[in-house]
Amino acid sequence: MTLAPVLDRIDADMPAALERLLDLLRIPSISTDPAFKPDCDRAADWMVADLASMGFEARKCPTPGHPMVVAHYPGPEGAPHLLFYGHYDVQPVDPLHLWDRDPFDPEVQQDGGRTVIRGRGAADDKGQLMTFVEAFRAWIAVHGALPARITVFLEGEEESGSPSLIPFMQEHADELRCDLAIICDTGMFESRVPAITTMLRGLLGEELTVRAANKDLHSGSFGGAAANPIRILARALASLHDETGRITIAGFYDDVPELPDALRAQWQGLAFDHAKFLGDVGLALPAGEVGRTPLEMLWSRPTCEINGIWGGYTGAGFKTVLPAEAHAKVSFRLVGQQDPWKLREAFRDHIRAHIPADCSVEFHGHGNAPASVMPVDNPAFERARAALTEEWGVPAAYIGCGGSIPIAGYFQGILGMDAMLIGFGKDDDQIHSPNEKYDLESFHKGIRSWARILARIAD
C-alpha cells in the first residue's frame, strides 16, 4: 500500500475533516462537572458513529463515570498491532467572560497570519485525536484497508482524574494489549519542532477543607479570639515552599533524580527561549526553585501548586465574617520515582501539623499517577521520528513534558506495552484557558504525519 495517494486524499478531504472536527467541538463534554454528563455521553456516541462509518468495529463501554470508546480494525497478516489513545472530554470553560466567543460554538478563524480552529477542546484533545482518525479515514478510502491492525481507545475522564481508567484497563487487558500504544495528547517543541515526548511528570491532586468554629462568626464579636480557618489555611499553604522555592514536605525530594548530564546537554541544545516562554504570558521571572531554568523546572522537577482557594465572603462589598471553613485544591507534579501514595500521606501530615488542636482538616484525593519515562530504544520511536522529520522538514526531537498523562504509565504498568507520545499542539494553544485554539497547520500536517508514521511502522 503506497503512501502518496493517502497524503493526496488527506489534502483533498481537509474541508470535510474540518467540518467533522467542528461538529465534535460543539459537544460540551466537560467531564469534571456532573452537569455535563449527558454531553460526555453524546461525545462518546459521536466517536463510535464516526469510527463505525469507516469500518471500525466500534462500541461505547459504560463505566461508573463517563464511557470509554473502543474500536478495532483488522490489519494485514503479520502487521503490527497499534493502539491509538485520545480523550474526548474537555476542561471547564470558566472564566467564561474572558472568551471572545461561545467556547462550544467553534469556528475556523484567521489569527495573525495563521488559520486556527477556535473552541474548547480544539487542541486538548479533540483536534489531536481527530488527526489519527482522519489519517485512518484516508488510508481506508484510498486502499480499502489500513496497513496495520489498529485499536482505538478513547477516554472521557482525562480532565477529571481518570477514575475509571485503571479498572477498565485491568478488566479489558486482553482486548487492549497490542504491540505499541500511541498517545496523541502532547505538543511540538517551541511550536515548530515535531517532537516525541519521552518524559512525563506524574500528578497528585488533593482538596482540603479546614474547619474552625461550628458556624460563621462576626469578626467584631470573635475576631482575635477565635480561630479563623482562612488564616490557618493560608499559613499552612504558605509553609509548603521555602524561600528558595523548594517544597518543604518531609521526604519530598527523596526519589527525585538529578538530570543526567547527557540529557541536560541535549535540552540545552534545544535553545529554549526562557524569556519568551514567560514573556508570552506577561511574566518575566522564573518562579520555581532558585538556580534552575524554567525548562528544567517544567520537564524534570516536581512542583506543588495551589489550583483553587475559597472561603468566607467573596461577593460584592464586604462582610466582617470569620467563616466556619475554608478550602483549597492543591496539585503536585511528580518526577522520577516519586510515589504519589507516599507523598499524599506526607502532604496530609504536613498540613495537619499546621492545624490547631481545636480545628480540623478534611482531605479528598483527586487522582494520582507516577511520572513516566518512555523506552526510546523501541525501534518504533526512530521510525516515527523519521516520519515526523520528513513531514515537517525539521529534525524531530525527543523532549520532556511538564504535564501529566497518566495513561502512558498505565500502558506500561497494567498492559506491559510501550507507549509513544506524539502530538501537534503549540505553546499558544491556550489549552485549559479561555480562547483555546488548534492551528490548522497542526491539524493538517498532524493527519499527514500519522499517515507517514503508519506507513513506516507497518513497513
Q: Taking CB under 8 A as the criterion, which residues in 430-459 touch its own copies?
A: 430-434
CA distance 143 to 6: 8
The residue among 68 and 401 lying less far from its own copies, judged by its C-beta, is 401
CA distance 224 to 220: 9
- 92, 182, 394 from 39: Cα distances, Å: 13, 26, 39
The residue among 38 and 308 lying less far from its own copies, judged by its C-beta, is 308
The residue among 5 and 163 lying less far from its own copies, judged by its C-beta, is 163
Give me the least distance between CB of 190 and its own copies, in Å please. Answer: 13
Considering the rule CB under 8 A, would residue 319 count as an interface residue with its own copies?
yes
Strands (E), 383-423: 397-401, 419-422
Which one among 270, 288, 348, 390 touches its own copies, defined by CB under 8 A?
288
Per-residue mark of binding to its own copies, 207-236 (x: CB under 8 A): x----xxxxxxxxxxxxxxxxx-xx-xxx-
- Angle, helices 4-12 vs 440-458, to 10°: value is 160
Per-residue mark of binding to its own copies, 37-66 (x: CB under 8 A): ------------------------------
Nine cell digits for residue 209: 477543607
CA distance 205 to 209: 14
Q: How many other C-beta atoms are found inside a 10 Å radius of the C-beta of residue 79? A: 18
Give me the least distance between CB of 233 and its own copies, in Å please. Answer: 8
Q: How many other C-beta atoms are found inside a 10 Å radius of the C-beta of residue 244? A: 9
Per-residue mark of binding to its own copies, 171-210 (x: CB under 8 A): ------------------------------x-x-x-x---
Q: How many other C-beta atoms are found inside a 10 Å radius of the C-beta of residue 25? A: 27
Q: How many other C-beta atoms are found inside a 10 Å radius of the C-beta of residue 414? A: 18
Contact 124, 185 (CB under 8 A): yes
The residue among 262 and 285 lying less far from its own copies, judged by its C-beta, is 285
Question: Hey, what amino acid is at 213?
Answer: A
Give me the least distance between CB of 317 and its own copies, in Å please. Answer: 3
CA distance 267 to 272: 8
Which one among 322, 355, 455, 458 touches its own copies, defined by CB under 8 A?
322
The residue among 36 and 56 lying less far from its own copies, judged by its C-beta, is 36
CA distance 310 to 314: 8
Binders of its own copies in range 69-98 (CB under 8 A): 91-92, 94-95, 98
Give me the least distance between CB of 278 and its own copies, in Å please. Answer: 6
For the chain, what is the largest distance between any 2 Cα atoms, rounded to a whole number of angstroms?
A: 81
What's the chain's length in residues?
459
Report the DSSP pairing between strands 149-155 and 81-87: parallel
The residue among 131 and 228 lying less far from its own copies, judged by its C-beta, is 228
First-to-last CA distance in the chain? 10
Which one among 262, 291, 316, 416 touches its own copies, defined by CB under 8 A?
316
Give me the least distance between CB of 150 and its own copies, in Å please. Answer: 28
Which one among 57, 257, 310, 459 touches its own copies, defined by CB under 8 A?
310
The residue among 261 and 358 lying less far from its own copies, judged by its C-beta, is 358
Which one among 19, 111, 305, 362 touches its own copies, defined by CB under 8 A?
305
Q: Return the bridge partners of 223, or none.
A: 226
Applying CB under 8 A, which part among 21-29, 42-50, 317-325, 341-349 lies near its own copies?
317-325
Binders of its own copies in range 335-394 (CB under 8 A): 356-359, 366-367
Binders of its own copies in range 234-273 (CB under 8 A): 234-235, 237-239, 241
Give me the least distance between CB of 428 and its own copies, in Å please. Answer: 10
- Cis bond upstream, residue 185 (ω within 30): no
Binders of its own copies in range 111-170 (CB under 8 A): 159-161
Q: Return the bridge partners of 86, or none.
A: 154
